[in-house]
């Protein structure tokens, strides 16, 4: 396929002598535009119905995180009536308009398309008004048995102030008339919905006929609210949910034990500053105003929703419905094609490096590498970084077994991996308790690099083997994210990995690295130098090319370096899944830069950076996106792929298909808007991920025969 590396380029004479000034795009708007692209998958009739619901839920989950992490400075600026600076009244209002529109589209899709489509399949969430007498009796019994014992309505008065409402918890607010048991007219009560209860409850088969019916927990409580307030009359009521700022902040320079400080901080995360209030569409002005005042929120932070106030919990429906035809066809990644099950990976690496393209090839190859190290008596030491391992992890069990077998195990655990802090703290404490050496990286920096180093005795020498990855050591996400794993015995690369582990553990000065670029020490500078070198070559009349694939591009210095290089004649293609602040295809400014985003069945997660000047090409893999935080506030790696065959394989699988995708790709237009790329004949168009699935399935079938 045409990689466009050798496509004709404008001569330097046709380009401006100086870089033209350009305003970068708004990062937060770009994040929300990404979520609009995800939502598009929920609208597609060709996508199986349960998968459409899943995409709808993903958007809601992403918006939750946006509010938890990104909304607070905009809200604070609005409340302070700031009109100058990065965060202002205007930025809050503009974001509010975009998000309200996105949420309205979500609920319109939920009510007008998805739920009617489920009903045609005999699947329905039955409201109180739709239940027959037998179903209502069953719901009554369920309420009395499972729900009511866990509910404690709180009537508000001076002795019973507004209760603490946890982040993203479901609650009811009720307006009562009449007097309470003490003759007082306290009219507001709050009912917290227990998080331990499922949000969707399947009805017994004998009450469903030939259908699959569910009731929502909120509907169960709503239909029995009156019973919670005997002697009072229930008037207005509404579900509500508050989202709070939840980006955990710890002053690392002022704590003696980071792990303990983070564990204490986690206890307070659920009660940070309120940033969003969701209520039912029919919530009265009286109750919504009361809640806004209680949470100190402006009207723009209020979201009236026509349906469940937490769409994320509808993910349960995907798990509860037994209908394979409403899901994607199962896909099982094949065993890595460069490896043979049962044969030594150490011996294989002596012949050359191994690349594993996940999820098209399975994570089992990485586990097999570690498993062989654990079981091999000649392996003396294992060093590994952990960023997101998950709550249940075979990999962590293998590390525990390595300690039991007497190997030296050093684990760099990142305690501040957002929303995985508790799981990582638990893993760190477990490993430490059995004798592993556990360190937490460098104060003030997150360790986001993914690397493993095995030290093995071979004769009189100690030999190093390494695993480097663009993704996490997590078996679950390895089935859902596209990533590249690189296994190597290359002496220069493994020596760099060894130096980095010593640097992280001892905080000693890092020797000069032979092959790798490490953030925050060199990575940012090296990337800019590389881009500038290509710009100089292009200006001198040499063909120059950059193709970079990443999750996000929000670093200003890198963006301006790319803009300058494009203006000097470098042909640039960026494959950026999420936020991108670089404006592409601006006439006379960024004509040479194209940005596309690919949203597919799997989450695009690999980072690949390709540079070419004339006949010299370099390709790097990395754990880092081109974001300021990755470059300046994290431990990140970028490393070269020197094997020509592996380098070409990465080009053929990770770059070329995505540049030619006419099914799942979106292009960033000159006005900052994304447009979906349409094939001339959609019936014959293939997405990059589908093509790779097909390719690896064919390889797997060939291997079996």
- Can you read off the two tokens belonging to residue 450? 């993914």
Residues 498 and 494: their CA atoms lie apart, in Å, by 6
- Can you read off the two tokens belonging to residue 271? 């009660």
- The answer to whether 445 and 519 have CB atoms below 8 angstroms apart is no
357, 448, 464, 594: which is the annotated catalytic residue?
Answer: 448
Secondary structure of the chain: what % helix, strand, coil (to 5)? 40, 20, 35
Residues 76 and 78: their CA atoms lie apart, in Å, by 5
Q: Give the distance from CA 136 to its chain's centroid.
A: 40
Known catalytic residue: 357? no
- Can you read off the two tokens belonging to residue 279? 């209520």
Residues 167 and 71: their CA atoms lie apart, in Å, by 14
In angstroms, the first-to-last Cα distance of the chain is: 28
User: Which residue, among 365, 297, 313, 316, has the nearest Cα to 337 in the 3D structure?
Assistant: 365
User: Which residue, among 427, 366, 365, 422, has the nearest Cα to 400 in the 3D structure?
Assistant: 427
Residues 663 and 539: their CA atoms lie apart, in Å, by 35
CB atoms within 10 A of CB 458: 10
User: Which residue, among 539, 515, 626, has the nearest Cα to 577 in the 3D structure?
Assistant: 626
User: Which residue, among 493, 234, 450, 445, has the nearest Cα to 349 in the 3D structure?
Assistant: 493
Residues 223 and 563: their CA atoms lie apart, in Å, by 59
- Can you read off the two tokens belonging to residue 585? 């295809």
- Can you read off the two tokens belonging to residue 673? 């808007």
Instruction: Please give the torsion angle defined by the CA atoms of residues 527, 530, 536 and 537, in that order, rounded to the nearest 10 degrees.
Output: -150
Q: Give the distance from CA 199 to its chain's centroid.
A: 23
How does DSSP classify residue 112? I
Task: State the catalytic residues.
Answer: 448
């Amino acid at each position: 396929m045409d990689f466009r590396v050798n496509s004709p380029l404008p001569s330097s004479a046709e380009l401006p002598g100086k870089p033209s000034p350009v305003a970068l795009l708004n990062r937060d708007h770009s994040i929300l535009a990404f979520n609009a692209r995800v939502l598009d998958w929920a609208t597609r009739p060709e996508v199986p119905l349960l998968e459409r619901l899943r995409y709808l839920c993903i958007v809601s989950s992403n918006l939750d995180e946006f509010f938890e992490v990104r909304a607070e400075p905009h809200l604070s600026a609005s409340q302070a009536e700031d009109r100058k600076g990065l965060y202002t009244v205007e930025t809050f209002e503009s974001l509010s308009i975009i998000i309200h529109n996105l949420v309205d589209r979500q609920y319109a899709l939920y009510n007008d398309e998805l739920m009617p489509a489920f009903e045609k399949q005999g699947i329905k969430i039955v409201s109180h008004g739709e239940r027959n007498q037998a179903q209502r009796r069953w719901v009554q019994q369920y309420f009395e048995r499972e729900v009511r014992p866990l509910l404690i309505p709180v009537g508000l008065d001076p002795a019973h102030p507004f209760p603490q409402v946890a982040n993203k918890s479901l609650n009811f607010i009720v307006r009562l008339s009449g007097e309470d048991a003490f003759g007082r007219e306290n009219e507001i009560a709050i009912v917290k919905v227990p998080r331990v209860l499922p949000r969707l409850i399947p009805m017994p088969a004998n009450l469903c006929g030939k259908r699959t019916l569910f009731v929502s927990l909120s509907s169960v409580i709503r239909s029995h609210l009156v019973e919670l307030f005997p002697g009072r009359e229930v008037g207005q009521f509404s579900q509500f949910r508050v989202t709070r700022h939840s980006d955990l902040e710890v002053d690392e320079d002022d704590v003696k034990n980071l792990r303990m400080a983070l564990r204490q901080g986690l206890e307070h995360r659920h009660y940070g500053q309120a940033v969003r209030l969701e209520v039912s569409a029919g919530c009265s002005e009286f109750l919504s105003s009361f809640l806004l005042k209680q949470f100190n929120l402006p009207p723009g932070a209020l979201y009236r929703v026509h349906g469940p106030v937490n769409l994320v919990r509808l993910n349960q429906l995907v798990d509860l419905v037994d209908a394979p035809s409403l899901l994607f066809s199962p896909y099982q990644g094949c065993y890595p094609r460069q490896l043979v099950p049962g044969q030594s990976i150490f011996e294989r690496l002596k012949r050359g490096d191994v690349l594993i393209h996940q999820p098209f090839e399975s994570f089992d190859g990485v586990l097999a590498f570690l498993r062989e190290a654990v079981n091999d008596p000649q392996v003396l030491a294992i060093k590994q970084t952990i960023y997101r391992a998950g709550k249940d992890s075979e990999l962590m069990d293998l590390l525990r077994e390595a300690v039991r077998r007497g190997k030296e195990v050093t684990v760099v655990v990142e305690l501040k991996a957002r929303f995985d802090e508790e799981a990582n703290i638990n893993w760190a404490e477990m490993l430490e308790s059995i004798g592993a050496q556990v360190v937490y990286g460098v104060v003030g920096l997150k360790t986001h690099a993914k690397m493993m180093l095995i030290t093995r005795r071979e004769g009189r020498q100690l030999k190093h083997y390494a695993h480097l990855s663009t993704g996490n050591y997590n078996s679950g996400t390895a089935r859902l994210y596209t990533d590249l794993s690189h296994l190597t015995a290359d002496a220069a690369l493994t020596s760099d990995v060894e130096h980095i582990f010593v640097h992280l553990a001892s905080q000693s000065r890092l020797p000069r690295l032979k092959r790798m670029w490490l953030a925050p020490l060199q990575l940012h500078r090296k990337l800019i130098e590389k881009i500038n070198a290509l710009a100089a070559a292009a200006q001198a009349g040499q063909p120059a090319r950059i193709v970079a694939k990443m999750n996000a591009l929000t670093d200003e210095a890198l963006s301006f370096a790319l803009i300058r290089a494009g203006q000097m004649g470098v042909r640039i293609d960026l494959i950026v899944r999420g936020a991108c602040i670089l404006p592409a295809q601006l006439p006379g400014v960024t004509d040479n830069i194209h940005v596309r985003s690919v949203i597919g069945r799997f989450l695009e997660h690999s980072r690949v950076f390709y540079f070419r000047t004339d006949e010299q090409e370099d390709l790097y893999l990395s754990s880092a996106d081109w974001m300021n935080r990755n470059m300046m506030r994290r431990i990140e790696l970028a490393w070269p792929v020197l094997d020509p065959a592996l380098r070409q394989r990465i080009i053929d699988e990770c770059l070329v298909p995505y540049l030619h995708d006419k099914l799942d790709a979106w292009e960033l237009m000159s006005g900052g808007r994304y447009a979906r790329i349409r094939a001339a004949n959609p019936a014959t168009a293939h997405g990059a991920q589908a093509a790779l699935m097909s390719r690896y399935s064919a390889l797997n079938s060939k291997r079996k025969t």
